[in-house]
Each structure stands twice: as structure tokens, then as C-alpha cells.
């Protein structure tokens, strides 16, 4: 059995690629999202347990979180707590972003604390 799973998102014309099933993720949900110019996620949402981290790969947009507008630019990261009511809007040239979703307070080890020197 291999200790990795690899897929490619290159040349896919999907607006959203969810990786939890494609990579058999067990500790997080990661999605690659592409919104064309002046489009938006069509609903406001929050979460019961999961925080989200967004990374803007390309383009610009606006997040509305709890009725506050936050401008997004290429290279920006933003973390949103579960109960934050959120909706994202693409700028005039669209926006491409990663969304990483994990259960709040579930991270117990990371980087050097979790490493095993082989």
C-alpha cells in the first residue's frame, strides 16, 4: 500500500474541486475554488465545528463576514471561526482560492512535534 495519494487539478474546468474524497483525507477538507468575475458563492453560511482558512491564489474579491466587508488580494490568507457568517464575492477579474477546513481545536501536534526522523 502506498503512503501517498496524488491527483492533478491542472486543466480541469471545474469551478470547485473538493479533495476529501479524491485524496481520502481524514483530518481536513481542502477545496480549490474558481469564481469568475463578479460572481459569488450564492449563499451565506457558517459551520458547526470547523474553522476555515482561505488562501487567494489569483485575482481579487471581497469576503463579507458577520456583515463586515474584507477586501481580498492575491497572496492573502484569512481564517474564519466556525460561527462567522460568511460569503465570498469575486472581483472584476475573478478569484481563485484554496479553502482548508478543519475542526476547531483539533490540532495537537504539528511540524517538528509530529516529525519522526527516519
Q: Write the DSSP assignment of 38-105 as a string of letters.
A: T-B-SS-B--SSEEEEEEEEEEEEEEEETTEEEEE-TT-EEEE-TT--EEEEEEEEEEEEEEEEEETT
pLDDT at position 85, please?
A: 98
- Three-state DSSP class for residue 30: strand
pLDDT at position 11, please?
A: 64
**Sign of torsion over alpha carbons 47, 50, 51, 56:** negative
pLDDT digits (tens, 9 = 90+) for 73-96: 999 999 999 999 999 999 999 999
pLDDT digits (tens, 9 = 90+) for 30-56: 999 999 998 999 999 999 999 999 999
Instruction: Report the alpha-carbon angle 56-58-59, nearest 5.
Output: 95
Q: pLDDT over 70 for what percent of the chain?
A: 98
pLDDT at position 116, please?
A: 83
pLDDT at position 92, please?
A: 96
pLDDT digits (tens, 9 = 90+) for 1-31: 789 988 887 766 788 889 998 898 999 999 9
104/80 Cα distance (integer angstroms): 10
pLDDT at position 12, please?
A: 67
Structural domains in the chain, CATH included, are 16-105 (2.60.120.10)
Amino acid at each position: 500500500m502506498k503512503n501517498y495519494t496524488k491527483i492533478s487539478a491542472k486543466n480541469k474546468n471545474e469551478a470547485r474541486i473538493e479533495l476529501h474524497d479524491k485524496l481520502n483525507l481524514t483530518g481536513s477538507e481542502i477545496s480549490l475554488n474558481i469564481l469568475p468575475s463578479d460572481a459569488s458563492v450564492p449563499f451565506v453560511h457558517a459551520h458547526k465545528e470547523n474553522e476555515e482558512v482561505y488562501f487567494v491564489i489569483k485575482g481579487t474579491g471581497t469576503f463579507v463576514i458577520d456583515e463586515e466587508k474584507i477586501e481580498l488580494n492575491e497572496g492573502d490568507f484569512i481564517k474564519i471561526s466556525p460561527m462567522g457568517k460568511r460569503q465570498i464575492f469575486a472581483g472584476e477579474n475573478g478569484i481563485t482560492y484554496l479553502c482548508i477546513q478543519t475542526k476547531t481545536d483539533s490540532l495537537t501536534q504539528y511540524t517538528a512535534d509530529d516529525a519522526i526522523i527516519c
